Structure 1
Amino acid sequence: MKTIELPYGHGTQSCSIPDDIDCVYGRLKSVEPSVEAGEQISAALLNLIGDINFDKLRNAKSVAIAVSDMTRPVPSRLIVEKLLPWLAEFGIYEDQITVLVGGGLHHPATQEEMNYILGEELSKRVGQVLPHDADDRAGLTFLGTSPLGTPVYVNKHFAQADFKIVTGMVDAHQFMGFTAGVKGAVIGLGGRETITGNHVRLFQPGAELGEMKGNPARIDLEDCGRIIGVDMIVNVVLNTQKKVVKAVAGHPRAAHGVAVEFAKSIFGVSMSSADIVIASPGGFPKDINAYQAQKALTPALQLVKPGGTIILVAQCIEGAGEESFEKTMSLYDDPSDLVTSFKEKEFVIGPHKAYLWSRTFLKAKTILVSDKVSPELAKTLMVKVTKSLQEAIDDVIPDYTADLKITVLPNANSVIPIKA
C-alpha cells in the first residue's frame, strides 16, 4: 500500500491506497533558505530594488506599516522588527510609527490576534497598532477613482501617514496572478467598495491564477496602489515549511516583480489531468475556514477530469469563516442554481466565494475532509464531509476501475498548474 499525507491544520491527514494506483504529487520546488529569515530581510532593506523617495522618508513625521491578519503565515513581527532600526537611520522613531493589521473584508483583528501577529512587546514599542475595518466609513479616506472605475477608499491612518510601507507574502492568487505588493494596502486596508470594485474583475479575460501580464484585476490593483501612494514594500516568499526563502524590499512594482519571478520558479508545477485530485491549502492558517480553503479548489479544478472527484483536506476550525458567504450558500439547494444566479446579479464580495466554491461542483464530485465542520454547515455548503482522508478515499476509489490516476496537491494554494 502507498501512503498519502497532506497538511491539515497544525498537523496532517493521511490515507493508504493500493500500490497499483498511479499517484502523482504536484510538489512545489524544494527550496531551503540560505540564511535565517531575519538576515534575509535585513539584507533586502540594505539592497532596495527600484527607486525610493528618501527625501520624503527623511522629512516624514509619521510612518504607517501595513501587515497581514491571521489568515496569512507572514512573519510580520520579524519584518517590523527589522524595519524599526532601518527607519531610525532616517530619523523615524518608534512612537512615530503606526502598524495597521489589514484583513480586507475579514473580521477586524482582535487584540489577542494582534498580539499573536506582532507580539505584546513589539506592540508596545511602536506608536500604535490598529485593526482595519473595511465597513467603518469614518475610518476610511476616499482618494479618487482608478482608471478602470474602482473607487479608492483606504484606512484613514494609512492615507494620512507621511510615508507608507506595505508588507506581505508573495503567493499564487486565483485571479490576481500573485498576492502581495500593493495588495496589502488596496485590499488589506481598503474599503468594501474598493475591494468589490477590484474583485469584480475576476470574471474578465486574463484574470487568472499566476498571470500578471494583461490581468485586469492586477492592473486595477496597481493603479489603486498608486492613487493611495504606497511608497515601499517588504515582501517575502515562503517554502512549504513556511520558511522565508526570498525577501525583497523597495519600490512597490519593481520589488514585487522580482519576488514574483522567484515565486514562479517554485510554484509552477507540470501536471496532467487526473480522476481524483486530493488538495490541501497547506495547513494552518490557510485552512482556517472554508472561505480561505476555497482557494485550493482553483488548481484542483484545473486538473480534475470532468466527472472526477476533488477531495479538499482543510480543517476549517472557524467553520465557513465569512457570514455573507455562508448566507449565500444557504439560499440554494443546487450549485448550478447558485452559479447561474450569481452571474445574473450585481457583484458582491463574500457571495463571490459562494460562486467560486460552487462552480467546482459542476465539474467534479467534491468531498471536504474536516473534523470541525458540522453536518448542518456541510449541508449549507452543499458538500459531503468526512472526518478522515482515509474515509474519503475509501468512498471514491470503488467508483473507478482500471487506469485510475490520483494527483496530490499538498500546498494547493501556491501551485500554478502547467498542463503537461
Structure 2
Amino acid sequence: MVEVPLGERTVSVELPDSAVTVAEPAGGDPVDVPAAAERAVADPHGPRLSERVAPGDDVAVVVTDVTRATPDDVLLDALLAELERGGVDRETVRVVLGLGLHRPMTDAEIREALGEHADIAENHDPERTVVVGEIEGCPIEIYEPVAAADTVVSTGMVEPHQYAGFSGGAKTAVIGAGGESGIGYTHGPEMLSRPGVRLGRIDDNPFRDFVDRAGDLVGVDFCLNVTHGPAGMLGASAGDSRAVVADLAGIAQDALAVEVEEGYDAVLAGVGAPKDANLYQTTRGATYVVLGAHNPLREGGRVITPARLTEGAGEGTGEQRFHEWLSTADSAEALYEEMRQGYEPGSQRAFVVAQVLRDHELWVTNSQAPGVVEDCLMHAADSVEAAVDPGSDVLVVPDALNTLLV
C-alpha cells in the first residue's frame, strides 16, 4: 500500500497485482522559515534592502498567489522589518498578489495567506498595465502601481518549473504582475519549442533568460525567495534575483533529484493541495513526469493523478482558455498541430498537455468533476486502482511537482 496526496490529505492505494516502485527524493533538511528569512535578508546577494531604499519611498512587494505554497506572511515580516530599518514606513508599502492570468484571490484567501499584512494587499489586474520596455519585439507590461513604485521587491518559491527550469526570482513580478503580451510571448509555441526550455534547467534556458532580462526592465530591485521539498522548507535566499534563483535551485536539485529506469506502464503522479483544486494545475503532474529530463514511461503508458478538482477546470482566464482548447478538440494530435500556429496567453498548458496526450493517456481519479476530465481528452476514474491495469509495472511519484526524475 502507498499513500499519495489528495487535497490536504492523502489517499491509500493498494495495487496487489502490480509491481510498484516508489520514487522518493532525498528531501533535504528543513529550516526554521522565519529565522532563515531573517538571515537571508541580513546577508543577501548584493546590498541589503535597507541600503537600496530611502525614507519615504513608495515600495511595491509582489507576492505569489494561491497556486503557490509560499509562506508570504513570514517573508513579509522580514521584508517589512528591513524596509523599516531603511526608513520606509509600512503605509508606503503596497503588496501586490501576482496572479498572472489566474483568478483573483478572495478576501478570505488573502487573509489566510498574508495574515496581518492582508490590509495592504491587492490583487494584480492585468488590464491595468503600462509598457516599460521591449525584448525581442515583445512589449514588457507591468501592473501600473508596480511600475510607479520607487522600489520593487518580490517574494517567490524556487521550485521545479516546466518552462523556467525553476520558478522564483524576477518571474513573480514579471509574469505575476505582468500583462498579456509578456505572458503570451514567453508561454507561446515558439518560446516553448526552443532548446533549453525545460524542467529543472536554468542555465542556457531562453525562458529563464527572457524573464531575468524583463526583470531588469521592470526594475526588480530585491527578492526574498524560499525553496522546499518533502521535508518542508529547505532554505531562503535574498538579494539580486539571478543569484537568488541559482542559490536555491542548487539546494532544490540536490534534494529533489531521483534516478529512475524507464519502461513503466503507469506513473502515479501525486499533486495535492493547492494545485489539485483545478484541472489546469493538476495536469502539471503529468507534464512534469513526461516532459522532464527523463520520461520513465513506455510508449503508450499512462499517468494517473488523484485530484479534488473543486474548481473544475479552473476559474481564471488562463484556466478557461485551457478548458476551451481541450474540450473542443477532436484529438490530441489535431490539437497540438493547431496550437503550434499560435494561441492566446494562458492557453500554454493545453499545448503542453497536448504534447503529452500524443503519446500517453492521462487519468484523473477521485475528483469532484469527472465530466470535466472526460471532456478534455483525458480519462476519469473513481479510484487509482480502477485506472491501473492488473499486472502493470507502476512508478509512484508521491510529490510529482517536487521530484526531478533523472
TM tier, smaller: over 0.9
SS of the equivalent of 1:57 reads coil
Aligned to 1:266: 255
Instruction: Tell me the distance in 2 between the aligned counterparts of 1:268 and 1:250.
Output: 26
Query: Per-residue displacement from partner, 1:3-41 (whole Å, max 9, x unpaired)?
Result: 12111111112211227x43222222222324x211111
| 2:41–2:49 contact (8 Å) kept in structure 1 | no
Structure 2 residue ranges without an equivalent (≥5): none
Aligned to 1:222: 212
| 1:276–1:407 contact (8 Å) kept in structure 2 | yes
1:133 lines up with 2:132 in the alignment: no
1:276 lines up with 2:269 in the alignment: no
Shift of 1:178: 0.5
Structure 1 residue corresponding to 2:287, chosen from 270, 281, 298: 298
Question: What does residue range 55-70 of structure 1 map to in structure 2 within 5 Å?
Answer: 55-59=51-55, 61-70=57-66
SS of the equivalent of 2:5 reads strand
Instruction: Tell me the distance in 1 between the aligned counterparts of 2:382 and 2:112.
Output: 29
Aligned to 1:169: 157
SS of the equivalent of 2:367 reads coil
| Greater shift in the superposed pair: 323-332 or 357-366 | 357-366
| 1:206–1:214 contact (8 Å) kept in structure 2 | yes
| 1:49–1:250 contact (8 Å) kept in structure 2 | yes
Query: Per-residue displacement from partner, 1:56-95 (whole Å, max 9, x unpaired)?
Result: 4125511111111111100011111121111111101110
Superposed structure 1 runs of 4+ greater than 3 Å apart: 51-56
Question: What does residue range 38-77 of structure 1 map to in structure 2 within 5 Å?
Answer: 38-51=34-47, 55-59=51-55, 61-77=57-73
Aligned to 2:132: 143
Shift of 1:314: 2.0
1:323 lines up with 2:320 in the alignment: yes
Shift of 1:294: 1.5
| 1:317–1:372 contact (8 Å) kept in structure 2 | yes
| Greater shift in the superposed pair: 202-211 or 358-367 | 358-367
Instruction: Tell me the distance in 2 between the aligned counterparts of 1:405 and 1:198.
Output: 37
With over 3 angstroms needed to count, the CA separation of the structure-2 counterparts of 1:45 and 1:55, relative to structure 1, is closer
SS of the equivalent of 2:249 reads helix
Aligned to 1:411: 399
SS of the equivalent of 1:7 reads strand
Shift of 1:371: 2.3
Aligned to 1:231: 221
What amino acid is aligned across from residue 375 of structure 2 in structure 1?
T
With over 3 angstroms needed to count, the CA separation of the structure-2 counterparts of 1:14 and 1:358, relative to structure 1, is farther
Shift of 1:300: 2.4
Structure 2 residue corresponding to 1:110, chosen from 106, 111, 120: 106
Instruction: Tell me the distance in 2 between the aligned counterparts of 1:7 and 1:312.
Output: 9
Aligned to 2:76: 80
| 2:153–2:223 contact (8 Å) kept in structure 1 | yes
SS of the equivalent of 1:86 reads helix
Structure 1 residue corresponding to 2:117, chosen from 118, 122, 147: 122
Query: Per-residue displacement from partner, 1:241-278 (whole Å, max 9, x unpaired)?
Result: 5x322011111111221111111111221111112111
State TM-score, norm by structure 2.
0.93
| 1:110–1:131 contact (8 Å) kept in structure 2 | no
| 2:229–2:256 contact (8 Å) kept in structure 1 | no
What amino acid is aligned across from residue 319 of structure 1 in structure 2?
G
Aligned to 2:305: 312
Aligned to 2:7: 9
| 1:171–1:180 contact (8 Å) kept in structure 2 | yes
Aligned to 2:169: 181
Aligned to 1:287: 276
Instruction: Tell me the distance in 2 between the aligned counterparts of 1:195 and 1:58.
Output: 32
What amino acid is aligned across from residue 335 of structure 1 in structure 2?
A
1:337 lines up with 2:334 in the alignment: yes
What amino acid is aligned across from residue 311 of structure 1 in structure 2?
I
Aligned to 2:384: 389
Instruction: Tell me the distance in 1 between the aligned counterparts of 2:370 and 2:267.
Output: 23
SS of the equivalent of 1:17 reads coil
State TM-score, norm by structure 1.
0.90
Structure 1 residue ranges without an equivalent (≥5): none
Question: What does residue range 181-260 of structure 1 map to in structure 2 within 5 Å?
Answer: 181-200=169-188, 201-240=191-230, 243-260=232-249
Shift of 1:220: 0.6
Instruction: Tell me the distance in 2 between the aligned counterparts of 1:370 and 1:381.
Output: 16
Shift of 1:366: 2.2
Query: Per-residue displacement from partner, 1:341-381 (whole Å, max 9, x unpaired)?
Result: 111x2232232211222222221222111321132x12321
